[in-house]
Amino acid sequence: MYAPSKALAKTNVGLNAAIAGVSMFYEIMDTPAGEGAVERAKPAFVKKGGTVVFDRVTFGYKPDEPVLRELSLHVEAGKTTALVGQSGGGKSTVVNLILRFYEPQSGVITIDGQDIGKVSIGSLREAMAYVGQDVYLFGGTIRENIAFGHPGASQEAIEAAAKAAYAHDFIQAFERGYDTEVGERGLQLSGGQRARIAIARAILRDASMILLDEATAALDSESEQAVQNALDDLCAGRTVVVIAHRLQTIQEADKICVIEAGRVVEEGTHEQLLARGGRYAYLHAVQFREELELAGVEQISVSLAAMRSNLLL
Ligand SMILES: Nc1ncnc2c1ncn2[C@@H]1O[C@H](COP(=O)(O)OP(=O)(O)OP(=O)(O)O)[C@@H](O)[C@H]1O
Ligand SMILES: [Mg+2]
């Protein structure tokens, strides 16, 4: 009697879990897609190098925990805007909102004057190329991965993009070249190789906006140089938003915005911000000292303690 009734009791637990699962499934399937009407609306036309403006945007992944707090930001067309600041400040979140992976809770984001919430997601993402730390390659050949989003591309165009992305040589070195299977069931490419595939994809698509989130962070210095060269070529003349922890890589940016606790606390060029002696100058000095320490230099003239006390005043 005991064993069967125990089994029966267990069945009930399993059944309830299944019912909960099924009801969650229906809840999700029954949710209106939100987009719907808007997706059929007139698609946004993003001309080469769109201007993106954040106007007092507040957003949190959880409604009561804002990550961006009335953040205002101006990304100028054809220029490079760098986002820097301490970890967790909200830099990647800004990029997530530009790509409309999430919608702001208040405030407006516009691209060339159009509210991005009112244009189709497809047309928005088509105008943009994203190269992040963790590039996703789907199952298929290298050729298909580069041509993703551009199905009719010719072999010449694909190879030209791969060359410009400093990817052609390593692709050629594979036995099957551009027909090498990658992704889950294929060959596992290194971080630097995947980054260069993503860059080739972006070059082929000729997107007007490039979003780079720590694109070279996980690479060794040799592939970092190759990827950096590819990025420099890709970004020339386009609208670029670049997030970098290593400040050295963004010194040349047209504008640097320091984001802290969900706000832009400082902006300007490298020289302007250094001269100001504020947050950027502090971050820069800290990083400079770390690099010198790594290089074995003991004494430096920058007095961090003095800067720190200045900031506290
Ligand atoms: N998908 C998510 N769900 C919930 N919270 C998140 C999510 N992504 C980020 N956050 C939180 O939002 C805050 C800002 O994160 P974000 O990734 O924008 O920071 P960041 O400035 O890019 O930092 P890092 O320099 O470390 O990349 C953090 O507190 C983080 O924990
Ligand atoms: Mg980030």
The rounded Å distance from CA 90 to ligand 1 centre is: 6
Ligand nearest to the CA of 94: 1
The rounded Å distance from CA 53 to ligand 1 centre is: 21
* Predicted local distance difference test score (pLDDT) of residue 128: 87
Phi/psi at 129 (5° precision): -125, 135
* Predicted local distance difference test score (pLDDT) of residue 311: 64
Residue of 91, 212, 243 to test ligand 1 pocket, by largest number of atoms within 8 Å of CB: 91
The rounded Å distance from CA 92 to ligand 1 centre is: 7
The rounded Å distance from CA 93 to ligand 1 centre is: 6
* Predicted local distance difference test score (pLDDT) of residue 67: 96
Question: Cα separation of 231 and 213, whole Å?
Answer: 12
Residues of the chain with pLDDT under 70: 31-49, 133, 185, 218-219, 296-313
Q: Can you list the domains of the chain with their CATH numbers? A: 52-266 (3.40.50.300), 277-313 (no CATH)
Closest ligand 1 atom to the C-alpha of 96? 18
Q: What sign does the dihedral 35-38-42-44 (CA atoms) show?
A: negative
* Predicted local distance difference test score (pLDDT) of residue 91: 94
- Type of residue at 117: G
Nearest CA to ligand 1 atom 29: 88
Residue of 67, 87, 243, 265 to test ligand 1 pocket, by largest number of atoms within 8 Å of CB: 67
Closest ligand 1 atom to the C-alpha of 94? 18
Question: How far, in Å, are 29, 205, 230, 304, 307 from residue 216 at the CA level?
Answer: 38, 21, 11, 28, 30
Nearest CA to ligand 1 atom 16: 90
The rounded Å distance from CA 11 to ligand 1 centre is: 41
The rounded Å distance from CA 159 to ligand 2 centre is: 31
Closest ligand 1 atom to the C-alpha of 89? 21
Ligand nearest to the CA of 257: 1
Residue of 64, 92, 97 to test ligand 1 pocket, by largest number of atoms within 8 Å of CB: 92
Ligand nearest to the CA of 61: 1
Closest ligand 1 atom to the C-alpha of 214? 27
Residues with CB under 6 A from ligand 1: 61, 67, 87-93
How far does Cα 277 stand from its chain's mean position? 28
Question: How far, in Å, are 56, 83, 198 from residue 70 at the CA level?
Answer: 4, 16, 32
The rounded Å distance from CA 171 to ligand 2 centre is: 29
The rounded Å distance from CA 182 to ligand 2 centre is: 26
